[in-house]
């Protein structure tokens, strides 16, 4: 199903993507990872669809503040491989990619935990006044992070070659169909988390405008984004004039107060 060089490339991608996410942030989103996995597997379209669906699930989830989030980057790689190799449809593959992403959270926690070793070493080298040794430990985490993604993908793909076909053969139809439906409605989660994060109650009307533009007027997404940009610019200008007038009002009030005192 997957050749050895595909497995190596995908494992390297898994190693790099977490480093990318922690440093330069070029490709570390499920959409791009899905696209690249698709290219490696020789099926760009499938990779894009898997990546896009997973992307929609993590819209509102960010890793900031040290919290772990479902690892749908790894999910995108595994999902794409399943979708291309197993021939059971992309939505089914997404139904399998989601549990993979959820399980990967444990390894994220493990990596963050293991890095405490480097912290201890930095603490020690500083008290011993060994700046260079201390500095070195500040980037050794490269390997804990990279291995936390690269190794599981490698193992899953090696095992997968032999086992996926057997496992898939035993999955009952109701579950296959069910996972397809789940794959279709899972973007709900990302959207809802995002709405929880943003001040949705305050700006509900804009959510409604976006919905109407797409559901009734059938405006394409780029068009809606431009509409949103126009609304944002209007809001910016209005608030700016508001703050200016309130400023001048304040100074007038102070002047009046000053006159009373005199």
Partner 1 sequence: MKTNENTPLTKHDLFRANWRWLWASQLSWNYEKMMAPGYFYTVLPFLRRFYPQDDELVEMMQMHNQFFNTNAFTGPFIIGMDLAIENRKGYAAKDTVAGIKTGLMGPLASVGDTIFGVIIPTIFGSIGAYMGLKGSPIGAILWLLVNLIIFVLRFAILPLGFYQGQKLLDSAEGKLNLVTDSAILLGLTVVGALIPTVITAHVPFVFQAGKVTLHLQTVLNQIMPSLVPALLVALVYWLLGKKHVTATKVILFVLVLGVVLSYCHILG
| Residues of this chain, 141-180, that bind partner 1 according to CB under 8 A | 141-142, 145, 174-175, 177-180
Cβ count near 105 (within 10 Å): 14
Least CB distance from residue 181 to partner 1, whole Å? 4
* Angle at which helices 72-86 and 141-170 cross, to 10°: 30
Determine the 3-state secondary structure of 130 from DSSP: coil
d(CA 37, CA 122): 37
Sign of the alpha-carbon torsion through 85, 88, 91, 93: negative
**Residues between 80 and 139 that touch partner 1 (CB under 8 A):** 91, 95, 98-99, 102, 105, 112-113, 115-116, 118-119, 122-123, 126-127, 129, 131, 134-135, 137-139
Among positions 9, 27, 147, 158, the unique one binding partner 1 when judged by CB under 8 A? 27
d(CA 180, CA 174): 10
CB of 225 vs partner 1, minimal distance in Å:
6
Q: Please select the residue that binds partner 1; options are 29, 37, 80, 148, rule is CB under 8 A.
A: 29
Q: Which is nearer to partner 1, 126 or 155 (CB)?
A: 126
Residue pair 55/29 in contact (Cβ under 8 Å)? The answer is yes
| Tokens representing residue 114 in the block | 């293991």
In angstroms, rounded to a whole number, what is the distance separating the alpha carbons of residues 101 and 58?
11
Angle in degrees, 0-180, between the axes of helices 221-261 and 204-215, rounded to the nearest 10? 160
| Cβ-contact 178, 91 below 8 angstroms | no
Q: Which is nearer to partner 1, 172 or 258 (CB)?
A: 172
Chosen residue from 3, 159, 211, 252 binding partner 1 by CB under 8 A: 211
Pick the piece of the chain touching partner 1 (CB under 8 A) from 5-13, 79-87, 152-160, 216-224. 216-224
Q: Give the one residue of 166, 215, 251, 262 binding partner 1; rule: CB under 8 A.
A: 215
Choosing from 8, 26, 42, 245, the residue that interacts with partner 1 (CB under 8 A) is: 26
Angstrom CA distances, 193 to 6, 61, 74, 196, stand at 34, 7, 20, 5
Smallest distance from the beta carbon of 82 to partner 1, in angstroms? Answer: 16
**Minimum gap (Å) between residue 71 Cβ and partner 1:** 11
Return the number of the residue (6 or 80) whose C-beta is nearest partner 1: 80
Residues between 181 and 200 with contacts to partner 1, criterion CB under 8 A: 181-189, 191-200
Site for partner 1 in 3-22 (CB under 8 A): 19, 22
Measured between alpha carbons, how far is 206 from 114 in angstroms, rounded to an integer?
A: 44
């Amino acid at each position: 199903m997957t050749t050895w060089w595909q497995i190596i490339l995908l494992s390297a991608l898994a190693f790099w993507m977490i480093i990318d996410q922690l440093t330069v942030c070029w490709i570390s989103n499920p959409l791009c990872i899905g696209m690249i996995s698709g290219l490696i597997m020789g099926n760009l379209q499938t990779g894009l669809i898997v990546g896009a669906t997973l992307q929609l699930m993590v819209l509102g989830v960010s890793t900031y503040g040290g919290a772990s989030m479902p690892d749908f980057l790894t999910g995108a790689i595994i999902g794409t491989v399943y979708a291309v190799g197993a021939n059971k449809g992309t939505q089914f593959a997404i139904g399998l990619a989601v549990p993979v992403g959820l399980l990967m959270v444990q390894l994220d926690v493990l990596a963050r935990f293991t890095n405490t070793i480097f912290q201890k070493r930095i603490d020690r080298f500083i008290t011993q006044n060994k700046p260079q040794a201390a500095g070195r430990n500040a980037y050794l985490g490269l390997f804990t992070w990279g291995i936390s993604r690269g190794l599981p993908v490698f193992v899953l793909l090696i095992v997968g070659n032999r086992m996926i076909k057997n496992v898939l053969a035993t999955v009952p139809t109701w579950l296959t169909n069910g996972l397809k439906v789940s794959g279709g409605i899972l973007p709900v989660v990302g959207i809802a988390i995002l709405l929880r994060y943003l001040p949705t109650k305050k700006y509900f009307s804009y959510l409604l405008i976006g919905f109407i533009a797409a559901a009734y007027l059938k405006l394409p997404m780029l068009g809606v984004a431009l509409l949103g940009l126009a609304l944002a610019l209007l809001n910016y200008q209005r608030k700016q004039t508001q703050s200016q007038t309130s400023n001048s009002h304040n100074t007038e009030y102070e002047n009046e107060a000053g006159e009373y005192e005199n």
